[in-house]
Amino acid sequence: MTDLDDPARFGGADPSGFLESVERLPGQVREAWRLGREAFLPPAGKVGAVLVCGMGGSGIAGDVCRAILAPTSPAPILTLKSYDLPAWVGRDTLVFAVSYSGTTEETLAAFDAAAARGARLVAVTTGGALLTRAQAGGHPSIVIPGGLQPRAALAYLALPVLVACARLGLGPRLAGEVAETLQVLEARVARCERGVPAAKNPAKTLALRLRGLPVVVAGGDGLGSVAAYRWKCQLNEVAKVPAFSSAFPELGHNEVVGWEDPGGVTGDFALVVLRHAGEPPRLAGQIEAALGIVGPAFAVAEQVSAKGGSPLARLFDLVSLGDFTTTYLALATGVDPTPVATIDRLKRAT
Ligand code: PA5
């Protein structure tokens, strides 16, 4: 267990420097934006649909892109987190194969299948077999910096896909949004970095409230639900706690009944609800009402709100707050935030 107000001791608890990668997210956004703008892309042309393939810490790049692009894109934006391509993927599908290591078997299988169907392919990776196959097949690849955990490389994985889509006419030009995202993230880091004591640091405060509890994270559809899923994955992989994510408005039609809790189980869970100013009024009303009805059943029920005006800034602000919170939760409970031994074991076993 590490005292969160004694950052001099973080080095021993976090030997690989995971917290440093969290504090450096603004710099990563800046560099990822450059990589996306400079990337060589397939020729512009009709795009019937966009499919972003990837797993885990890489696959969430597709969810981020869908949340940002879907409200305005003329083509559907879909994700694939498995081996097999849907039947509709063909020559007019723009397929991004995203794998930080470049060795993930599901993503490689999807890449091979998309290449066989003549899809317009782009690989996003640090190297591995994915890069080798992209180069051998003459497909564009966006090579991102290595040396991080995939879940600490979200901007490198997601922004080049977003920028590529924008360059191919599928999304807004992002210069203003990226500039605002940088401002919002720099402010977030200033509020949550290691030197800010728990009494003034919202991420440390929340981490201390969540200690010892499995967590349900919920967000409003689109942006909020992707952020909730990211928090859930970071709670699992960084803090090594059971966590679940859910999305309004759908959860108001089923999950809330489970939260009523006649058997007292909900009282052993924490609830974190991720809010943002872009929630449609009806959705915001439903979230408030649900919290009023079932919030008291939880051991801890917290709401956190994104800063920022653009969807990109809001999403990255929630991501950053979640990354800080889960890293401090790991440190507060004596867990090394970096290794994911069970994922490694599972990959070796299959
Ligand atoms: O966070 C992790 O380490 C995992 O979720 C990986 O991202 C996942 O297993 C896929 O690997 P990669 O990101 O290298 O494609």
Residues paired with 303 in a beta bridge? 273
Report the pLDDT averaged over residues 293-318.
96
87 burial class (0-12, 13-18, 19+ CB within 10 angstroms)? Answer: exposed
Predicted local distance difference test score (pLDDT) of residue 1: 66
- Nearest CA owner, ligand 1 atom 5: 56
- Nearest CA owner, ligand 1 atom 1: 57
Higher-confidence residue: 44 or 155?
155
Say if residue 284's pLDDT is above 80.
yes
Predicted local distance difference test score (pLDDT) of residue 4: 93
| Alpha carbon of 53 to ligand 1 centroid (Å) | 12
What's the pLDDT tens digit per position in 122-140?
999 999 999 999 999 999 9
Report the pLDDT averaged over residues 249-264.
91
Question: What is the identity of the amino acid at 288?
Answer: E
Residue with tokens 């999403």: 315
Alpha-carbon distance 248 to 123, whole Å?
A: 33
Percent of the chain with pLDDT over 70: 100
Report the pLDDT averaged over residues 211-225.
95
pLDDT band at 180 (very low <50, low <70, confident <90, very high): very high
Predicted local distance difference test score (pLDDT) of residue 308: 96
Alpha-carbon distance 10 to 331, whole Å?
A: 7
Predicted local distance difference test score (pLDDT) of residue 171: 82
276 noted as active-site residue: no
Say how many C-beta atoms besides its own lie within 10 A of residue 236's C-beta: 20
237 noted as active-site residue: yes
Predicted local distance difference test score (pLDDT) of residue 44: 73
| Alpha carbon of 55 to ligand 1 centroid (Å) | 6
Ligand 1 atom nearest to CA at 57? 7
Say if residue 313's pLDDT is above 80.
yes
Pairing mode, strands 77-80 and 243-248: unpaired
Catalytic residue among 237, 276, 279, 307: 237
What's the pLDDT tens digit per position in 69-86?
999 999 999 999 999 999
Choosing from 52, 53, 55, 237 the residue with most ligand 1 atoms within 8 A of its CB, the one to mutate for a pocket test is: 55
Alpha-carbon distance 4 to 194, whole Å?
A: 8
Say if residue 11's pLDDT is above 90.
no
Report the pLDDT averaged over residues 40-58.
91
Alpha-carbon distance 193 to 201, whole Å?
A: 8
Alpha-carbon distance 79 to 226, whole Å?
A: 12
134 burial class (0-12, 13-18, 19+ CB within 10 angstroms)? Answer: buried
Percent of the chain with pLDDT over 90: 87
**Dihedral-angle region of residue 340 (phi above 0 means left; psi in -120 to 50 means alpha; beta otherwise):** beta
Say how many C-beta atoms besides its own lie within 10 A of residue 315's C-beta: 28
Which residue ranges have their beta carbon within 6 Å of ligand 1? 55-58, 99-101, 104, 107, 149-151, 237, 340, 343
Higher-confidence residue: 8 or 154?
154
148 burial class (0-12, 13-18, 19+ CB within 10 angstroms)? Answer: buried
Ligand 1 atom nearest to CA at 149? 3
Report field, pTM of the whole predicted structure over 0.75? yes
253 noted as active-site residue: yes
Alpha-carbon distance 139 to 130, whole Å?
A: 11
Mean pLDDT of the chain: 95
CB 41, CB 122: distance < 8 Å: yes
